Structure formats: C-alpha cells, structure tokens
C-alpha cells in the first residue's frame, strides 16, 4: 500500500513494459506502450475504514472492474473492464500487495490483475485470474508511477464512504452475460465455484482443472488453465457426475493425456491418490474425440 501512499493519480506498467489504458469506448481496458496518454492515468480512491483497499478510476469517470464475464470459452480468466456500477461493490476494489519493487493487485476474491501476452486475442488484454504456470507468474506484477500527489493524507481528504458489500449469491453484475441460455447458466454456476469466490478453492479435497472438447474434437485454449472446481470424491464415476453437473452436459468421458503420445484416454475407476491438483478434458459422448472410447456401465452412467 506504500506505493499508493498520498497518491492522487498513478500509471501502472505491466511486465510487458506496457501501460494499463482505458480505451475511448469507455468499457475496454488494454495495454499500450504510450504511457503519456491521458488514458493511462488512473485516479486513486481510498476506502474509508480500510488501509489496504483502493479503487482506480479512469479518465472517463469509470472504475477498474473485475467482472464476471469469461474472457474466452474454457478459460478461468475473467474480463477486466471500466464500469460505473449503479451501486459500488467489491468488483471495483483492489488490494495492492508488494512484491519486491513491484505490486500485485488482488481482487477481494483472491484473483490478480493480469496483463496477458502472446498471440491475439490474448495480446494486450487484461484479465483477473491466478497464474499457475511459471511462465505467467510475472504477468500479475505491476510498476507504479505516481503522476500526482494528494497534498493531504489519505486518512483525511479524498476518502470515500465504505461500500455496502452485496451477497455474492444474489449479486447481479451489470457486465455479466445475459441469462436464459444453457451456456450462460453454466458460466453462472462456474462463477460461484471459480474465480469469483477465489481460485483455487481452499477447502479440503483436490482441485480439478478441465477443458471441454467440442463436437468436432477441438479443445480450445488447452495450453492455458481451464475451468476449475473443488472435488472431494475418489472415483471416476463421482468425478464424472460432478462434471456433468458443472458443465450441464449429459454423457461424458473424463479424460487425461498420455505423457508419451499426448493422446486422450478415459480415466478408469479410482482417481490417483495423494494428488491435490488434476488436469482433465471433458469429452462428450457425441464428440469425435470420443471415437473408440468404451463406456463400461460399472464406470459411467448411461443416459
């Protein structure tokens, strides 16, 4: 928090040497190399009765927001936007955490502001997520450039009233996908188990990361972390039933990849013991990726 002490406005520079920028559509947030742009300037608001939480407001008067919207299908990362909610809530609150000479910005639910690299559509995008791969650990680190100082201490002038936190189960994010489709319902269920309440889950059991194979066998974004959930069972049948409930897909194989030839194979009977994190692929029975898989009724339920 000392990086923001007495700061009235700041610029945030990512690991990719690009600045956090509010685009002129007044919704999108991206990364750009031009740090002199007014869009790279963020006004700091200090929350009353908290010495560790801030809000960041763009030049358009909108707040940096950790939304519920998935960035890409099958990915854990959620969109970061600039919004002006009807009622301020925890999605616009960020906790600066020092990491050497830089900071990480954590949401109230355990995710971090992440500056993505790589090929489009990832390039220059912003998400909130927890990076598990070593190659992306530094993507959540930010340099802070103070561009304007508040003369008075943030314990006085410049404080804003503490927000009234909404129940996360009843909160309706104006940036969430519209309701009414199985896909959006799936994301809604995923949100309650995924990054919105903290990722990975910290309760007993193991964390399951999964991707979903399409009808033609394609698996998008398999090189990134997928959906996640906490699972306390021990058998493949229990995991199959849980994943059917999570995805809304009836009739699936729970698969892993062979370390030898990278081919998918269905898991059988018991899950490996003493492994707290697993990566699997959900393959619908109708997918071409399931061709050649057998379905013993002792393992998979028939529908």
Share of the chain above pLDDT 70, in %: 74
Residue 89 tokens read as 């809530």
pLDDT tens-digit map of 192-211: 333 333 333 344 678 888 88
Residue 264 tokens read as 């998918």
What's the average model confidence in pLDDT over 38-46? 94
What's the average model confidence in pLDDT over 55-72? 92
pLDDT of 209: 84
pLDDT of 142: 95
All domains of the chain in start order, with CATH: 2-160 (2.80.10.50), 200-290 (3.10.20)
pLDDT of 134: 67
pLDDT tens-digit map of 154-175: 444 445 444 433 333 333 444 4
253 or 299, which is more confident: 253
Residues forming a β-bridge with 85: none
Output DSSP code: residue 94.
B
Output DSSP code: residue 293.
-
69 Cβ contact partners less than 8 Å away, ≥ 6 residues apart: 78, 79, 81, 175, 176, 177
Nearest alpha-carbon partner for 133 in 200, 207, 223, 255:
223
Which residue's structure tokens are 């959620």? 78
Share of the chain above pLDDT 90, in %: 35
CA distance 108 to 117: 24
């Amino acid at each position: 928090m000392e990086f923001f002490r007495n700061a009235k406005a700041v610029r945030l520079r990512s690991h990719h040497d690009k600045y956090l920028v509010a685009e002129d559509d007044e919704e999108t947030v991206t990364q750009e190399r031009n740090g002199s742009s007014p869009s790279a300037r963020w006004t700091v608001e200090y929350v009353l009765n908290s010495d560790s939480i801030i809000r960041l407001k763009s030049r358009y008067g909108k707040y940096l927001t950790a939304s519920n919207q998935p960035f890409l299908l099958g990915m854990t990362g959620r969109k970061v936007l600039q919004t002006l909610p009807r009622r301020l809530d925890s999605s616009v609150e960020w906790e600066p955490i020092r990491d050497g000479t830089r900071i990480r910005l954590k949401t109230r639910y355990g995710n971090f502001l992440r500056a993505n690299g790589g090929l489009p559509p990832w390039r220059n995008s912003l998400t909130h997520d927890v990076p598990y791969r070593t190659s992306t650990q530094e993507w959540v680190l930010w340099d802070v450039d103070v561009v304007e100082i508040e003369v008075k201490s943030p314990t006085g002038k410049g404080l804003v009233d503490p927000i009234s936190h909404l129940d996360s189960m009843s909160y309706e994010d104006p940036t969430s996908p519209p309701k009414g489709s199985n896909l959006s319902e799936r994301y809604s269920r995923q949100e309650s188990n995924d990054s919105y309440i903290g990722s990975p889950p910290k309760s007993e059991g193991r964390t399951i990361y999964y991707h979903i194979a399409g009808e033609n066998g394609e698996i998008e974004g398999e090189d990134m972390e997928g959906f996640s959930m906490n699972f306390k069972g021990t058998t493949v049948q229990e995991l199959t039933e849980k994943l059917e409930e999570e995805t809304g897909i009836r009739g699936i194989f729970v698969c892993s990849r062979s370390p030898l030839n990278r081919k998918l194979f269905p898991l059988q009977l018991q899950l490996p013991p003493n492994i707290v994190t697993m990566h699997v692929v959900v393959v619908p029975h109708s997918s071409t990726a399931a061709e050649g898989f057998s379905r013993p009724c002792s393992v998979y339920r028939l529908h």
